[in-house]
Structure 1
Amino acid sequence: MVDVITMGETMALFTPDSTGLMRYAHTFTRKFGGAESNVAIGLARLGHRSGWITRVGDDELGKAMLSFVRGEGVDVRFARIDREAPTGIYFKELRREGDVRIQYYRKDSAASRLSPADIDEAYVSQARFVHISGITPALSESCHEAVFKLIEVAKKHQIPIVFDPNLRKKLWSETKAREVLLAIAAQADIVLPGVEEGAFLFNERDPDKLGKRFIELGAKLVVIKVGAEGAYYVDENECVHVPGYRVERVIDPVGAGDGFASGFMSGLLDNLSIEAAVQRGNAVGAMVTMVNGDVEGLPGKEDLTRFIAAPAEDVSR
């Protein structure tokens, strides 16, 4: 049995060892990153059981990726090796502090060949939550079909769906993105949009009004991320602001939203109040920005507890 099942692409991540324009870089560090595996790893580090559905290439990067994610405690039994397509890669260019740029090379990757056949109903049926990202349906038509198959199975077994829109405009047209993301949001129980994603979908930035738009679609709870200011949670009755955590120096903002999702769902799994779960999400998201890499800043439970108690203090002395 797993607590959370998620599905999507993870890629090999190459980051220059030097700061500045990547054209001048000669050496790179290889890591791994992908929204869904980031969430799965974040949950595992906080003591929960997470499962990840994906495809990787039959290549050294794919084998290293599976070994890495498995080593983080994530169940990868439904991460399949595709012998006809490669593992995707991307580059993270750290031009200067506060200026991070991403370049993807994922066209026709193994994960883009995910399909409804990759969804094992018996496996999904015993999860407590299903997590879906808006990235996966943008990768291909078969990925789109796989996402809606996962939704169908979750609905059949009354498993709450947590949806992070994770808008990636480079992957598809704005018209198609809006259509599909709204269709998924209409099926979700909990939606975790950033305020910019809300503006894209509804042309609305006010957290209360934005939350109510998602509620009207069918969501029971909406948590709107507003960066360093924290997040608002909105249900049928209220809109509550939960302050964020001050970070003196943001090293790498990529992956902060995934950290938030893992922290928030961890709070739900631990039966915290909604406000306390959002606070945990804010804390994990903040901690991720303080470290270079998508998953390297994801905390364990002890580190998270210490950060929430005294985020500005070094209590390890």
Structure 2
Amino acid sequence: MTPGVEEISGAPEVVTCGEAMLLLLAEPGVPLARARRFTGSVAGAESNVAIGLARLGHSVRWIGSVGADPAGDTVLSTMRAEGVDTSRVTVHPTAPTGLLLRDSHATRGIDVQYHRAGSAASTLAPESVHAPLSSGTRLLHLTGITAMLSDSTHRLTRYLIDAARDRGVMISFDPNVRHKLGTPDRWRAVVGPLLTRADLVLAGADELELLTGQDAERAVHTLRDGGVDGVVVKYPDKSAVLTNAAGTRTQPAFPVSVTDPVGAGDAFAAGLLSALLRGVPPGRALAEAATVAALVVQSTTDIDGLPTPAQRDRAFAHLVDHAESVHR
């Protein structure tokens, strides 16, 4: 058996790994410094994608670590309630669960404060995760955030990529650049080399430029020449362009009323990955991804708007086919 892989019945179709944090979200429209009332939720790039895929009907394992504290209890209960496999999550006896505070607004800049230094997730390492992949796992989804948390999480990210490649498991990678985690040079050194290890890269145009030193169009060609099967570039106008062996396709964002834009990228990733896992053609897959993102930006937290398949399909029919929007 391949190291890091175990044979179990009911193996997860998808595996993700990263930090899930307790989210304290300020009342809508109120700047963080003035907020007095907060809504509790869970946030984290990989956990958002895990919940998104689970709601869309996929079996998902999330690998992470939380503290032995109420915030960790909230993270675990939320993930389990969504049907996400938490069997590879560790509870650290002394390190705390990460905390994220932010405000919520449709148009102005959003203030985000991370309290994740020394968190339980930053202690994750290859030796602390037993058999992360299972026979039957089809997809490993990772982001650059995990690699940037600590030296040990960087090693874990590379370990997971190696295990997936040895097993023939598809790897999707979203750099998800967070400038508060490191300098541009540090992001280039740690995350830049990981791009070419993936089968599918989902990145903003600015992220590709930062990580490769090339404009987005040239970076796509470089990644494809380096062995990446498909690259999705997300542009400032919220359009997305997928380039793979079948050609290039563009998907504009759907015109919806935005309540809170945070979480749109993770929602897009969940929608796209679900479509690809189901064998949906690329053009339809991009449209489904944009649909899931459009649903998420119409609610406040990162996960409240994530749809079920029926909700996705109903929204798709309205946004793409202009069907009746009211479900009676």
**Does the alignment reach a TM-score above 0.5?**
yes
Are residues 1:223 and 2:232 paired?
A: yes
How far off its partner does 1:272 sit?
Answer: 0.6
**What do residues 241-291 of structure 1 show as CA deviations (whole Å, max 9, x unaligned)?**
1233111x2111111110011101100111111222122111111211111
Structure 1 residue matching 2:191: 3-state secondary structure:
helix
Letter in 2 for 1:253: P
- Preserved CA contact (<8 Å) 2:97 2:119: yes
Question: Once the 2 structures are TM-superposed, how far is the Cα of residue 153 of structure 1 from its aligned partner?
Answer: 0.7
Amino acid at match of 1:257: G
Matches of 1:45 and 1:133 in 2, distance apart?
20
Deviation of residue 82 (structure 1)? Answer: 0.6
Name the SS for the 1:42 alignment partner: helix
Contact 2:240/2:252, CA 8 A, preserved across alignment: yes
Q: Is the 8 A contact 1:5 1:127 kept in 2?
A: yes
What is the one-letter code of the residue matched to 1:262?
A
Taking the TM superposition and a 5 Å limit, the aligned residue runs for 1:283-294 are 283-294=291-302
Of the three residues 128, 133, 148, the one matched with 2:143 is 133
Cα deviation for residue 218 of structure 1 reads 2.1
How many angstroms apart in 1 are the aligned matches of 2:272 and 2:262? 17
Q: Note the C-alpha offset of 1:236.
A: 4.3
* 1:259 partnered with 2:267: yes
Partner of 2:201: 191
TM-superposed deviation, 1:76? 0.6
Superimposed CA distance per residue, residues 164-204 of structure 1 (whole angstroms, 9 cap, x where no aligned partner):
11011110121120122221111111100111212222344
Normalized against structure 2, the TM-score is what?
A: 0.91
- Residue-by-residue CA offset, 1:96-130 (whole Å, 9 max, x unaligned): 73321211000000001110023333634531000
Give % identity. Answer: 36
2:190 is matched by which residue type in structure 1? Answer: V
Flag structure 2 segments of 5+ consecutive residues without an equivalent. Answer: 1-10
Separation in 2 of the partners of 1:15 and 1:163? 27
Q: Does 1:102 align with 2:112?
A: yes
Map 1:10-89 to 2 at 5 A.
10-17=20-27, 19-89=29-99
Corresponding letter in the other structure for 1:182: G
| 8 Å contact kept, 1:100–1:252 | no
- Comparing 303-312 and 70-79, the one that deviates more: 303-312
Of the structure 1 ranges 228-237 and 112-121, higher mean CA displacement relative to structure 2 is found in 228-237
Greater alpha carbon shift after TM alignment, 51-60 vs 194-203: 194-203
What's the TM-score once normalised by structure 1's chain length?
Answer: 0.94
Alignment of 1:149-298 (within 5 A): 149-207=159-217, 209-226=218-235, 228-236=237-245, 238-247=247-256, 249-298=257-306
What is the deviation of 1:213? Answer: 2.1
Q: Any conservation in 1 of the 2:22–2:98 contact (CA below 8 Å)? A: yes
Equivalent position SS for 1:81: strand
- Structure 1: how far apart are the matches of 2:226 and 2:137? 24
Question: Do the aligned residues in 1 keep the contact of 2:230 with 2:244 (CA within 8 Å)?
Answer: yes
**Structure-2 residue corresponding to 1:316:** 327
Partner of 1:92: 102
| CA separation of 1:202 and 1:62: change in aligned 2, threshold 3 A | same
Q: Which runs of 4+ in 1 moved over 6 A?
A: none
DSSP 3-state at the match of 2:197: coil
Q: State the aligned residue count.
A: 315
The offset of 1:95, in angstroms, is 5.8
After superposition, the CA RMSD in angstroms is 1.8
Tell me, in whole angstroms, the C-alpha distance in 1 between the residues paired with 2:119 and 2:80: 21
